Structure 1
């Protein structure tokens, strides 16, 4: 708790002396110094200037559960049974999946300021620097098994896009089955994982990673074009407000999907399809097929016009890219 309190004080970006930090935290100067060293392990740049004290240049926009709750609509609050926030964990999805093995975690939201082993689809690493982006996982129970989950990743992507629109962020597109793009650059991704009965009651973990203000240093290992919300919006963004807006769109969308499936969302998804009417290549490690993207059907399967006619492809380990970018 001392480290969390220290971060809350330094979050304003101003100088704080070691003495004042010790007084506010109720610990010795030596204990303050030990906590300051822990900031290095989190990848937080903390400057020390003799005679002035310590500061985090530019400050840090920390997630705060109470502030988040104030921005949530009544329906969203009712849908969320618990909100957990960690400073640094390997992965919000991993934590959610571990807890789902032990108990019913329906409606439980897991947040982290940093992930040390964040994952994207197909096992790719997801850059997760401290306090700069959004990483969260939502556990949800479904009674219809795996078959009832068709199109869920598309619904999640659409809800995230609509949450961004509420904040005045336009121009975001959806890449089947679970990415959000802006001008062809990756902005966010969705990772769904399931546990339980594949044909009955199951728990799904909806993992989301969204680039908000990605530091260049943290993005060096990203192997594809990327962007972040502050670049798109051309202004500073409050992560608590953005997260609240996303959840206000996401929770009702999942609740509607639970009752009605993907069909009611199809036309809206089509309107934001990044590859609409474009020539694309759909591939796995063992095959590839080219065709013109016709959108998706009522179950969320990708429709391609190929040399063998119209074909439907469901999610999984499929990779989609535009041939126009080749």
Structure 2
């Protein structure tokens, strides 16, 4: 993979050790002034540089950088093959891929960003991803049959993400309808689907995934959250991306062929709110009842006053009647 000067500099500093300006200039074949300019570019990405006179520059703790070649090496020959593209900084990986579909098919196209400044979540929430801390990934996929054929898709993506994490040793992963991955009732990852195309025919879907990996603090997230690092897992982000793509390929192929119904039971086994008392927040009212899982197309089923009603899509939020005051279990690796 050809690296820009900025990317080359980040890879040199990723080891967390001190590097003098002279040594950096030698490696990059540039002057000290040019190195200094590149170092300012590193800081502009939100990366904290530690300077010590006589020793040089370092990034305390180092960086776990994404690498397209390291990801591709872990992927077998697939149909479609994933075309992975990595950006240092994007406002939104989803929006970048959505714009690309005007130029041609985005089937199998993958966009990654080291930092995402204006990522979006469900119900208009913002989800900022600092440099090198999380996974901000968007995948393009083509479907036929319009919106009806996409029923349950976000749940299938959640299953793929859950099994990717489980295969890497992450335990206690559960799913929340319609698009969250939880550990101990805290959000570990979120999913955002965006569709363009014919409402009854061929359509293009961008599957956006945000996964908290190394994040330890964030002042703007307005809901309980957790990262893999806080849970005690030190996982390489390239390994995570490769496993996510492998499981997405498997579950998307299965979904296209058979629909959601064949994985319904599997999804409900991972459902955090299965048979629990919940609140369903609708635009005009709040319903309290018992969550009975989902139906054959992924619609939420709530038992209220002795009757079961299904709900799907729109401005709906699912909440427990009470949240236990516990903390994620730490584990050593």
Band the TM-score falls in, shorter-chain normalisation: over 0.9
Kindly provide the CA deviation profile for residues 255-296 of structure 1, in whole angstroms up to 9, marking residues without a partner as x.
110111101110110001100111111123322222100001
User: Does structure 2 retain, via aligned residues, the 8 Å contact 1:101–1:195?
Assistant: no
Task: Using structure 2 for the length normalisation, give the TM-score.
Answer: 0.94
* Displacement after TM superposition at 1:107 (Å): 0.7
Taking the TM superposition and a 5 Å limit, the aligned residue runs for 1:149-160 are 149-160=150-161
User: Does structure 1 retain, via aligned residues, the 8 Å contact 2:84–2:112?
Assistant: yes
Cα distance in structure 2, aligned partners of 1:325 and 1:11:
39
Cα distance in structure 2, aligned partners of 1:235 and 1:272:
20
Taking the TM superposition and a 5 Å limit, the aligned residue runs for 1:150-299 are 150-216=151-217, 219-232=218-231, 234-299=232-297
User: Does structure 2 retain, via aligned residues, the 8 Å contact 1:142–1:258?
Assistant: yes
Kindly provide the CA deviation profile for residues 65-118 of structure 1, in whole angstroms up to 9, marking residues without a partner as x.
00011122333xx33341110000100001011111332111100000010111
Partner of 2:110: 109
User: Does structure 1 retain, via aligned residues, the 8 Å contact 2:45–2:131?
Assistant: yes
User: Does structure 2 retain, via aligned residues, the 8 Å contact 1:278–1:324?
Assistant: no
Q: Unaligned regions of 5+ residues in structure 2, if any?
A: 325-333
Cα distance in structure 2, aligned partners of 1:46 and 1:248:
35
User: Does structure 2 retain, via aligned residues, the 8 Å contact 1:47–1:55?
Assistant: yes
* Displacement after TM superposition at 1:230 (Å): 2.1
Partner of 1:35: 38
Runs of 4+ in 1 over 4 A off after TM superposition: none
* Displacement after TM superposition at 1:307 (Å): 1.6
* Displacement after TM superposition at 1:316 (Å): 2.5
Cα distance in structure 2, aligned partners of 1:65 and 1:292:
45
User: Does structure 1 retain, via aligned residues, the 8 Å contact 2:148–2:200?
Assistant: yes
Query: Which of the two has greater helix per residue?
Result: 1
Cα distance in structure 1, aligned partners of 2:102 and 2:77:
29
Task: Using structure 1 for the length normalisation, give the TM-score.
Answer: 0.96
Cα distance in structure 1, aligned partners of 2:35 and 2:284:
55
Q: Does 1:70 align with 2:69?
A: no
Cα distance in structure 2, aligned partners of 1:302 and 1:275:
11
Q: Does 1:324 align with 2:322?
A: yes
* Displacement after TM superposition at 1:39 (Å): 1.6
Cα distance in structure 1, aligned partners of 2:26 and 2:191:
43
Partner of 2:330: none
Kindly provide the CA deviation profile for residues 227-259 of structure 1, in whole angstroms up to 9, marking residues without a partner as x.
011222x13211111111121111110111011
Question: Which has the higher mean CA deviation after the structures are superposed, 100-109 or 191-200?
Answer: 100-109
Cα distance in structure 2, aligned partners of 1:265 and 1:73:
24
Residue of structure 1 aligned with 2:301, choices 284, 288, 303: 303
User: Does structure 1 retain, via aligned residues, the 8 Å contact 2:170–2:233?
Assistant: no
Secondary structure at 1:231 match in 2: coil
Partner of 2:310: 312
Kindly provide the CA deviation profile for residues 16-54 of structure 1, in whole angstroms up to 9, marking residues without a partner as x.
111111111111110100110112211101111111111
Q: Unaligned regions of 5+ residues in structure 1, if any?
A: none
Q: How many residue pairs are counted as aligned between the two chains?
A: 321
